[in-house]
Amino acid sequence: MTDPLQEFGWKKSSYERPSDMWVCGQACEGTPCAFGPTAKGQCQHRQACVPKSNGPEFFCQRPLHLSGKCSEGPLENGACPNEFPQCKPRHSLLYFRRIVVGLSAALSLAMCLLLWSGESTEAISPGPLTSHHASSDVTCQSCHTAATGDWTSKVLTHSTPLNDSALCMKCHTELGENPFHSHGIAVEAWETISSAASSKPGSTPFLLQVSTSLTDHDSHKQHACSECHQEHHGAKHDMVSMTNNQCQSCHQQQFASFEHGHPEFDHTPPPGSIRFDHAAHFKRYLLDDAARLMPDALAPTDCQACHQASDDRSKMLTRGFEQMCSACHERDIKDRDFPGIAFFQLPSPAGDEIGEWPTAQQSTGTEISGFMQLLLDGRPADSDWEIKELLHDIVRRGQSAIDEKLANDLKGFGQFEPSIIPALMHAQQVWFPNLHDEIARHREGMAVDNSVVDVPKANLSAPQEEIGGGWYVRHDDLSVRYRPIGHADPIARLWLEQTLKLRGKVDSVPDADSILAVSEVLSNPTGSGSELTPVPVASGRCLSCHAVTRDPATSELSIAWSTTPNRIGQNSLTRFSHAPHVHDTSNTVCQTCHILEDSVPFVSTSSPSMLTNILKGNSEPSPVTCGIHGVSMNSCVKCHSSESKLDNCQQCHRYHAR
């Protein structure tokens, strides 16, 4: 292994000159001369050797690789008798290498100057764009950070796929705040989803195993758009199409196909659902109880009575309260016999020097309403004059006086629309006609004579004066009350929504009891809300249908006011369109997938938890049941199978959560 690869020495091998631009023309035959060409490429070999003298004699010096010493020997003058034919020298390998390197450098520089000088970047386009991107205002700079700036910045700037992906977000703003995370979901939320995901062992196809082994499963890694969406493949190229193996390469639970191994659907009702039990309505209320509940209307017999397809037939929408529910529930909601919720009520006078004070037909007691306690900073009135001062201030300054008396986080409770102020102004004119003069004298320390103000007598036909917008003034108990004006009542909705904001702060809010006193009436479907009304009132029936729900991601409470909640959810990866599945909305078609439950629950078992108990943490929101079995995979597999070629993941799933 230590022997040299070449014999060295002028007698045994030719002299190599690798740094010269020329080589001997005889080199290709293996017999190059010992002298080699000149620097200009001329042959300088004339004789076979240069004889050597040893005194008066000369000896042949022809090397062995040229047949060794000749038999003739040198001439007497020392010249070689054998003439060596001249060759035609040729360029060396180094010469050609230098030409290639020089041309490559020149070509590279020319390409840089050509391609990195403005619009010429289009010259290196790898192919035509898709029809979605091939507009006149889309250039290379629109999608590639390396194509922006002058040529020097392009040489010195390092561009990554994520840099290019950031340019995509200028147009694709619908992808949310985390477009480069897995499925566009924040890392914290994604880890929660992953930990809850099922990882049951299953049969994983070989190609899927290979794809999985090559996939980075780091949930913190950001993904560039180009990992899935490849451009420059022509106008008709589908950039969003992906194979099932691509979709499953990161999944914890993998399976062969939709019909073999796909997890069963989640049957949990979507958050924000209206509390409506289909089984109870179709098997009881609209059959046995129909004549009692809706004597002047016909009971619905099919799904079309409440549901209608959207314009594109992708969704099944509800028709609204007036068409669906009013036949049975309109009478209850109006609460004709309900005196209303007392938001302002005069107590029996406690002092001796009270000035004017109206007489009540019935005992009003010493308690004041919950809303009045809010205005009095959550405490009982110190004197009768404090109540008169409160009424005087509101009548004189209006809404600003109410806002000023409520704490910052409680101001929403005073934003009544319709306003309570016209009702309070009317009450002041009847109960305290000289209130402004009395307040002025009292503030100056002057004596105010006591007097009794006679108020209008209540009668059965007109027990209270209607001010408008649901506000009433009752003179028999000296109260300003609000009675819900119908479905979607604005005051009831306002108070309930503001009460929900107290979650987690009930114990720390000084006025919590005052707020909850009103909320009890608005959220209790079995309580009357007043000693004058012994039956349930509609103002407490809001939550019988509009459920209080808790967002599983944020734990925030909300009330489902809409009959058409987002059934897919904010971060859902699932999509479904009724259009290709439903050709008509007959019961037979709908119940192919939506099957009524067999058991019909009693009303008492489905009554919602009291809002107060939920806020205090004593109970959780009652589960929402719709009386319909969840859609089973069996109803889908009939059509979505490998045989029909309709089992691609993208048939029902999207990658970017929406």
Scanning the structure block, which residue is given the tokens 């309070």? 424
Both tokens of residue 243?
């194979």
Contact (Cβ atoms closer than 8 angstroms) between residue 477 and residue 353: no
Q: pLDDT of 414-469, one tens digit each?
A: 899 999 999 999 999 999 999 999 999 999 989 888 888 888 876 655 567 888 88
DSSP-derived secondary structure letter, 156 = H
As separate numbers, helices (DSSP H) first and strands (DSSP E) second, the chain gives: 22, 14
Work out whether the CA dihedral 560, 563, 567, 570 comes out positive or negative. negative
- Asked if residue 179 has a cis previous peptide bond (ω within 30° of 0), the answer is no
Residue 123: pLDDT band by 50, 70, 90 thresholds?
A: low
User: What was the pLDDT predicted at 397?
Assistant: 94
Smallest CA-to-CA distance from 603 within 163, 247, 280, 223 is with 280
* Number of other residues whose CB lies within 10 A of the CB of residue 125: 11
Q: pLDDT of 195-234, one tens digit each?
A: 766 555 556 776 777 777 767 666 678 888 888 888 998 8
Distance, CA of 345 to CA of 368 (rounded, Å): 6
Smallest CA-to-CA distance from 182 within 270, 251, 233 is with 251
Does 538 have pLDDT greater than 70? no
Does 133 have pLDDT greater than 60? yes
User: What was the pLDDT predicted at 152?
Assistant: 57
Which pTM was predicted? 0.63
Distance, CA of 637 to CA of 632 (rounded, Å): 9
User: What was the pLDDT predicted at 403?
Assistant: 92
Would you state the torsion angle of the CA atoms of residues 24, 28, 32, 37, taken in this order, to the nearest 10 degrees? 0
User: What was the pLDDT predicted at 544?
Assistant: 78
User: What was the pLDDT predicted at 8?
Assistant: 59
Scanning the structure block, which residue is given the tokens 């205005």? 375
% of the chain residues with pLDDT over 70: 76
User: What was the pLDDT predicted at 567?
Assistant: 47
User: What was the pLDDT predicted at 391?
Assistant: 93
Comparing 429 with 127, the larger pLDDT belongs to 429
| 23-37, 580-594, 600-614: segment of lowest average pLDDT | 600-614
Does 551 have pLDDT greater than 90? no
Q: pLDDT of 42-76, one tens digit each?
A: 887 666 677 777 777 787 877 766 667 777 777 77
User: What was the pLDDT predicted at 421?
Assistant: 94
Average pLDDT over residues 6-35: 70
Distance, CA of 360 to CA of 478 (rounded, Å): 6
User: What was the pLDDT predicted at 24?
Assistant: 82
Does 156 have pLDDT greater than 70? no
Residues 6+ apart with CB under 8 A from 101: none
Distance, CA of 471 to CA of 341 (rounded, Å): 10
β-partners of residue 557 are: 550
Scanning the structure block, which residue is given the tokens 């992953």? 194
User: What was the pLDDT predicted at 10?
Assistant: 54
User: What was the pLDDT predicted at 604?
Assistant: 44
Comparing 583 with 437, the larger pLDDT belongs to 437
DSSP-derived secondary structure letter, 416 = -
Helix (H, G, I), strand (E, B) or coil at 447: coil
Residue 102: pLDDT band by 50, 70, 90 thresholds?
A: very high
% of the chain residues with pLDDT over 90: 9
Average pLDDT over residues 4-20: 64
Q: Determine the length of the chain.
A: 658
Smallest CA-to-CA distance from 197 within 271, 251, 245 is with 251
Cα-flanking dihedrals φ and ψ of residue 91, to 5°? Answer: -70, 145
DSSP string, 266-307: P-PPPTT-B---HHHIIIIITTTTHHHH-TTSPPP-SGGGTE
User: What was the pLDDT predicted at 67?
Assistant: 65
- From residue 115, give the alpha-carbon distance in Å to each of 1, 120, 348, 593: 52, 5, 91, 59
Residue 532: pLDDT band by 50, 70, 90 thresholds?
A: very low
User: What was the pLDDT predicted at 100?
Assistant: 93
Residue type, 40: K
Helix (H) or strand (E) holding 11, with range, is none
Distance, CA of 381 to CA of 351 (rounded, Å): 12
Smallest CA-to-CA distance from 377 within 498, 512, 492, 501 is with 512
Mean of the per-residue pLDDT values of the chain: 77
Does 639 have pLDDT greater than 90? no
User: What was the pLDDT predicted at 569?
Assistant: 43
User: What was the pLDDT predicted at 530?
Assistant: 44
* Number of other residues whose CB lies within 10 A of the CB of residue 113: 11
Q: pLDDT of 253-312, one tens digit each?
A: 788 888 888 888 876 655 556 888 888 888 888 877 777 777 777 778 788 888 888 888
Distance, CA of 556 to CA of 333 (rounded, Å): 28
- From residue 204, give the alpha-carbon distance in Å to each of 113, 196, 208, 427, 652: 52, 21, 7, 77, 21
Does 169 have pLDDT greater than 80? yes
User: What was the pLDDT predicted at 429?
Assistant: 93
Distance, CA of 620 to CA of 610 (rounded, Å): 9
Residues 6+ apart with CB under 8 A from 410: 374, 498, 509, 511, 515
Distance, CA of 455 to CA of 144 (rounded, Å): 81
Q: Which long-range contacts (CB under 8 A, 24 or more apart) does 614-617 make?
A: 614/503, 614/548, 614/557, 615/499, 615/500, 615/502, 615/503, 615/506, 615/516, 616/506, 616/507
User: What was the pLDDT predicted at 317?
Assistant: 86
Residue type, 15: Y
* Number of other residues whose CB lies within 10 A of the CB of residue 293: 16
User: What was the pLDDT predicted at 201?
Assistant: 54
User: What was the pLDDT predicted at 436?
Assistant: 93
Distance, CA of 354 to CA of 344 (rounded, Å): 18
Comparing 369 with 604, the larger pLDDT belongs to 369
Residue 621: pLDDT band by 50, 70, 90 thresholds?
A: confident
Residues 6+ apart with CB under 8 A from 207: 245
User: What was the pLDDT predicted at 318?
Assistant: 85
Distance, CA of 303 to CA of 475 (rounded, Å): 49
Distance, CA of 240 to CA of 653 (rounded, Å): 12
Residue 188: pLDDT band by 50, 70, 90 thresholds?
A: confident
Does 536 have pLDDT greater than 50? no
User: What was the pLDDT predicted at 566?
Assistant: 47
Distance, CA of 149 to CA of 519 (rounded, Å): 63
User: What was the pLDDT predicted at 437?
Assistant: 93
Both tokens of residue 161?
């796929």
Average pLDDT over residues 487-500: 86
Average pLDDT over residues 313-328: 83
Residue 400: pLDDT band by 50, 70, 90 thresholds?
A: very high
For the chain, what is the radius of gyration of the CA atoms? 47
Distance, CA of 394 to CA of 404 (rounded, Å): 10
